[in-house]
Amino acid sequence: AGDGDCGHTHARAAQAIREWVRARPPPAAPAQLLSALADLLLEKMGGSSGVLYGLFLTAAAQPLLNRSDLPTWADAMDAGIEAMQRYGGAAPGDRTMLDSLCAAAQALHALRSPGADLLPVLTAAVESAEAAAEATRHMEAGAGRASYISSAQLLQPDPGAVAVAAVLRAVLEGLRS
């Protein structure tokens, strides 16, 4: 669905995060944690995914500077997506990681409701991201590396969308344990 580097870049990112966490405790403050992850991914992940995740996390950190309640996490997701769209040029429906991110963000808007319960909302967000990733299988690529490939050859879901759904699933599982 591109030049084949999506898995490699995500593996590099996972390894870098694992080494980082083993070497020092991550920052406890959400904004500092996201900013540190952004820097790490920009340095170690590589590829366009590294840049896009870096942009996403840097922008997502901003709303969390002074607050970290559940509604602010929904705001952070929206801020990250907006930065990705502005700098990356893709939009939902272009068969990119944004398809999964935007589907998850829609579900995370429930965090703005009084009495929202994090784990059920996050579960719904992950399920939405996974469904959106699968739906990219039938989309015409409008952006990203897959846009350079004939749609007849794009038989699998977009790897970036699948990776985003997997990352969100890992966050959910981490919070559950």
pLDDT of residue 148: 47
Are 60 and 30 within 8 A, CB to CB?
A: no
DSSP letter at 154? -
Please give the full DSSP string across 13-69, using - where no structure is assigned: HHHHHHHHHHHSPPPSSHHHHHHHHHHHHHHHT-HHHHHHHHHHHHHHHGGGTT--S
**Which residues, 6+ apart, have CB-to-CB distance to 51 below 8 Å?**
42
Arithmetic mean of pLDDT, 87-113: 93
pLDDT, mean over the chain = 90
Displacement of CA 87 from its chain's centroid (Å): 15
Under CATH, what is the fold of the domain 5-176? 1.25.40
The answer on pLDDT for 153 being more than 60 is no
Token pair in block for residue 96: 């990119």
pLDDT at 47: 85
**Token pair 């700098």 is at which residue?**
87
| pLDDT higher than 80, residue 168 | yes
Return the pLDDT at 138.
80
pLDDT > 70? residue 152: no
At 53-75, the pLDDT tens digits run 999 999 999 999 999 999 999 99
Tell the burial category of 142 from Cβ atoms under 10 Å away from its Cβ (0-12, 13-18, 19+): middle
The DSSP element (H or E) to which 102 belongs, if any, is helix 97-108
Confidence of residue 46 (pLDDT cuts 50, 70, 90): confident
Dihedral sign computed on CA atoms, order 69, 73, 75, 76: positive
Range in 28-32, 34-38, 134-138 the model is least confident about: 134-138
Distance between CA atoms of 81 and 86, rounded to whole angstroms? 9
Q: pLDDT over 70 for what percent of the chain?
A: 89
User: What mean pLDDT do residues 155-163 have?
Assistant: 85
| pLDDT band of 159, cuts 50, 70, 90 | confident
The domains of the chain are located at 5-176
- Region 85-106: what's the mean pLDDT? 92
